[in-house]
A = this chain, B = another copy of it.
Amino acid sequence: MARILPLLAYFVFVFSFLAAASGQELPSWNDTPTKAAIVSFVEKVTKQGSPEFVKPADRIAVFDNDGTLWSEQPMYNQLAFAIDRVKAMAPEHPEWKTKEPFKSLLAGDPEGIAAAGTPGLLKLIATTHAGMTAEAFATTVTDWLNTATHPKFNRSYLECVYQPQIELLRYLRANGFKTFIVSGGGIDFMRPWTQMIYGIPPDQVVGSSAKAKYEIRNGNPVIVKLPKIDFIDDKAGKPVGIYKFIGKRPILAFGNSDGDFEMLEYVTAGSGARLGLILHHDDAEREYSYDRATRFGKLARGLDEAPIHGWILVSMKSDWASIFPHK
Contact = CB atoms under 8 A, between A and B. Distances in A.
Nearest to A219: B269
Interface stretch (A8-16, A87-95, A104-112, A196-204): A196-204
A300 to B, nearest CB: 19
Contacts of A239: 214, 221, 223
Interface stretch (A76-84, A114-122, A243-251): A243-251
Given A203-B203, A246-B202, A240 B213 contact: yes
A201 B57 contact: yes
18 contacts: A57-B195, A180-B203, A187-B247, A191-B247, A201-B248, A202-B248, A203-B204, A203-B245, A212-B240, A213-B240, A214-B236, A214-B237, A221-B262, A221-B265, A221-B269, A223-B239, A223-B243, A230-B244
Contact of A244 (B212, B220, B246, B265): B212
B236 A202 contact: no
A279 interface: no
A184 to B, nearest CB: 14
Interface string A22-62: 00000000000000000000000000000000000100000
A214 B262 contact: yes
